[in-house]
Amino acid sequence: MELGAAGYAAAGAASAAGAGMGLFGYNRGNYMMDQKLHFSRFTAGHTYAMAQTAQYREDITMLTALTTGRMDLYHGIAGMTATILTAIYCPGRLGLHTPAPPAWLMGLAMVNIAGCYIWLGLTMWMAMHASLRADSAAVHMLTRFVRLPVPSQGMLDRARKFLSAYEEQPLREVLRVPFFRHQGKGKGAGGNNEDMDMDPDALGRTRHGNDVPAWFLKEKAIDQGEAFESMMPLAAQGTAPEHFEVYREIQNEWWPYDVYARLSIFLAFMHLSHCWCFMMLAHQLTETRAFFVGGAVVIPFFVLQQIILTLDIMPSQVSIPLHRLGPFAQLFAYPAVCIEYRRYYDADVAFIGYILVYLAYACQLIYTIQLLIICAPDYGSPPEMAEVPSSSWWPSAWRLPRAFKHATHLVAPPRNLEPGQTDLAGEMRAAAKGGATATTGQLTAESAEGKRRDVHRALGKHGESPAWFNVKAGLIALIVAWCFLIAGFTIEIMNAGTTHPSLLNGPGVPNNLRDPRYRPAKVGYTEPTEVGTGGALYGPARGVEGAERRLSELGSNVESEILSALPRHDLAEKLRSLLPYLNELATSDSRIGGGVTQTAAVSMIPAAAQAMLTGAASAQAVVQWPALFEPRLLACGHAAAHSEGKIALALSHHGRGAIISTAASHVGAKELPAMTTPFSLVGTFGHGPLVAATWDEAGLLLAAATGAVLECPGSGPTDGLWQCRPALAAKLPIGNSKPFRGAVALSRAPLRAAIAFPGESAVTLFSHSGEPSDLWLLAGEVRTRASASSVAFSSAAKELFLASVDGAIAKLNIDAGNMEEAAAPLGGLEKHHWQAACPLHSGGIARLALVQEAGSREASLFLS
């Protein structure tokens, strides 16, 4: 049966309708599958992006924890070390309980202590600063920029598609024949989907380039049109994720504090080890006198400092390792301080000690200057560290000290992604920036720049850090301190041995300051409080009731009724009126026993003989004595000295002296103008007060209260100093537990000694062979009329002159053994206390006296 035209038409229409329905169903099924996959891809992409952003937040937290953890460690070490240093500086300081060490040694110790305080303070301050800045930067980024890319409600709504949206597709997409290309933009096209730009990344992912459905283009434009916040710095370089680039820029705010806090720890421990060594040297020599122990301390400290320098400073980055000279200062200080405490003084050895002190100071000065050089940032062309695993890295723009770059342990964020790593969040951000239109809520360029400015408003000016400036100021201050000490030590050497040997008052001279070791008892306490020993509750005076220390106020519990009732000024007047009687009692030879006062003879010459000798004239030498000088010994000049006008020299008990010169003769004169040349004896310290002196062509011959015999060779002092040394190993038999109060005379040729023991009316003679190893031998004993206050040999030691407390002088002929009168007491001088006498080379006698006037004692010299 044949179909007509209508049949064929109907059949064709049915076939076309069937084909159309088939194509419609096929393309509609593709659309439904694509929309389901689209939503799944949208949620999966944001899930991955959120997971990666969470990792980015961990990156910021770990980078910040690296700084804050390191700063906490530095801060704790610095605080602990400052506590130890304060213990050294305060209760452990030298000179508190014993005589102070030499000033130059205390200078070495104290400047290093001060330097250690500088570096510990800078460490704590910079560690706190770096930690707070890093924490605030991390919080700033985590709360503002590195946020999870959670999709908004609008984004979810746009990602969700209704099936009716298929009706919006072009007819050629609805009835597209399988295996045929999707239709792109054609002439005159302007439908809903044909004006969308093709995603360039899609070209590499599709089989046929841009052969994608139209709905895909529209979905890409809608989904990626959402704004993403960005804070990318304007000068950012590299391909690292944005948060790394931003963190590296903000890290400029604290990395200098991180670096120089580490350097300050190094400097603090170097100065601490120096001050420990110098303080221990002073302790061993000053307090324990442990000579070898001091040397044993120096060597380990020297090795420790060299090890620290090796660990922290890269040798390849320093051309000349002058910083290694610093530990050598203690090697020079050790022999120098040993010279200071050697038993006998020697000018040549003292000069060697001065040189060693200068070398110690020079080592410290050069060492500090070298530290100033190597601690400076490298402003040349520092190499950029390679980014390798387990290695620190920082940009070349960060100017670090080249010598310490391996000890800083800095880690900056990476500049590039490693192969195989992706930045999904960054890709989504970039896609949003490229495909976004000016929709509501989009982040504009102005707001992004405002975000960046907000970071620096919160953290401070970019690129400006006073970390290096503070360290440089500390090093310069130490250089100034070392130069000041060197200049001060030079001034001390220049003043040594002069009449003004110190810029401060001498030992023993009142300084109008109360003793710092004692203070008044606190309110409610009666125990004495000694500073640094635990106080009234835990100190050594705990439980001592009513005890009073000198310079503390008297408590009411120890005042007697008489003292409390008597006004203080009245009591002072009564005590002042007793002083002349006490002085007369102390200087007289009266003895009290059995309730009856018995007065012994006080004059070497009887009264009848004195009447025959009173006609002899005497002249008083007008002498301007040196300040703070109280002469007690007198030695008349030998022939050569007398020919130069040097008639005698006077000495104090402690080694100060003055040569008395005059150009006139005392014969027939009442007053004799005289000049003095002050000097000091060097080498007598440690032998006790001087008790005898004789002056001959060979020099001075001295006797000390310990029995030691000293000699000072030469015709006189040089530059105000007269070098002395022990002459004999054997001592005179006068040294015991009590100070010797008698009189001694010496002669050199022959070597003799005459001793008038206190309280005895006799003189004992000793002789010596002159050999240093021989002993003094008893040569005889002579009874005298009175106790001798001073004795002196003649130039040939054939006569012995004995003076009594009234100024009378008798002469003993040693060969014959007879006694005769030499000089009567001087009239009208009853208030004078006669100290010494000696025979002049011209034939007269010189007598030295002290007189109490207006609260002070003045010395007088009489020639007869």
Q: Is the pLDDT of residue 256 over 50?
A: yes
| Contact indicator for 823, 817 with CB cutoff of 8 Å | no
* pLDDT value of position 500: 57
CA 319 – CA 403 distance, rounded (Å):
10
Q: What is the pLDDT of residues 361-403, one digit of tens each?
A: 999 999 999 999 988 887 666 555 555 555 566 666 677 787 8
Q: What is the pLDDT of residues 713-756, one digit of tens each?
A: 988 899 889 999 999 888 888 866 567 888 999 998 788 999 99
Residue range(s) in the chain whose domain bears CATH number 2.115.10? 607-863
Q: Which helix (H) or strand (E) holds 837?
A: strand 832-839
Q: What is the pLDDT of residues 617-653, one digit of tens each?
A: 788 888 888 888 889 999 998 888 877 888 899 999 8
* Beta pairing, strands 656-661 & 633-636: unpaired
How much is the average pLDDT of 670-692?
Answer: 88
Maximum C-alpha span of the chain: 199
Nearby residues of 47 by Cβ (< 8 Å), 6 or more positions away: none
How much is the average pLDDT of 506-519?
Answer: 42
Q: In which residue are the tokens 């520092």 written?
A: 382
Q: What is the pLDDT of residues 478-490, one digit of tens each?
A: 999 999 999 999 9
Q: What is the pLDDT of residues 263-317, one digit of tens each?
A: 999 999 999 999 989 988 888 888 888 888 888 889 999 999 999 998 888 877 7
Confidence at 602, pLDDT banded by 50, 70, 90: confident
How much is the average pLDDT of 549-575?
Answer: 54
* pLDDT value of position 461: 46
Q: Strand pairing partners for 713?
A: 699
- Supply 218's token pair: 């529209």
Q: Is the pLDDT of residue 234 over 80?
A: no
Confidence at 182, pLDDT banded by 50, 70, 90: low
3 state SS of 597: strand
CA 462 – CA 255 distance, rounded (Å):
12
CA distances to 73, 258, 367, 409 from 70, rounded to whole Å, are 5, 8, 28, 9
CA 506 – CA 495 distance, rounded (Å):
13
* pLDDT value of position 389: 56
Orientation angle between helical segments 103-144 and 255-283, nearest 10 degrees: 160
* pLDDT value of position 854: 64
Range in 234-248, 307-321, 660-674 with the lowest mean pLDDT:
234-248
Confidence at 504, pLDDT banded by 50, 70, 90: low
* pLDDT value of position 480: 96
* pLDDT value of position 344: 74
How much is the average pLDDT of 152-156?
Answer: 72
pLDDT over 70 for what percent of the chain?
A: 72
| Contact indicator for 668, 617 with CB cutoff of 8 Å | yes
CA 251 – CA 414 distance, rounded (Å):
13
CA 522 – CA 530 distance, rounded (Å):
12
390 burial (CB, 10 Å; 0-12 / 13-18 / 19+) is exposed
Domain over 607-863 is classified CATH 2.115.10: yes
Nearby residues of 231 by Cβ (< 8 Å), 6 or more positions away: 144, 145, 242, 246, 448, 451, 452, 455
Range in 438-447, 561-570, 681-690, 849-858 with the lowest mean pLDDT:
438-447
Q: Is the pLDDT of residue 176 over 80?
A: no
* pLDDT value of position 439: 34
CA angle 209, 215, 218 (to 5 degrees): 90
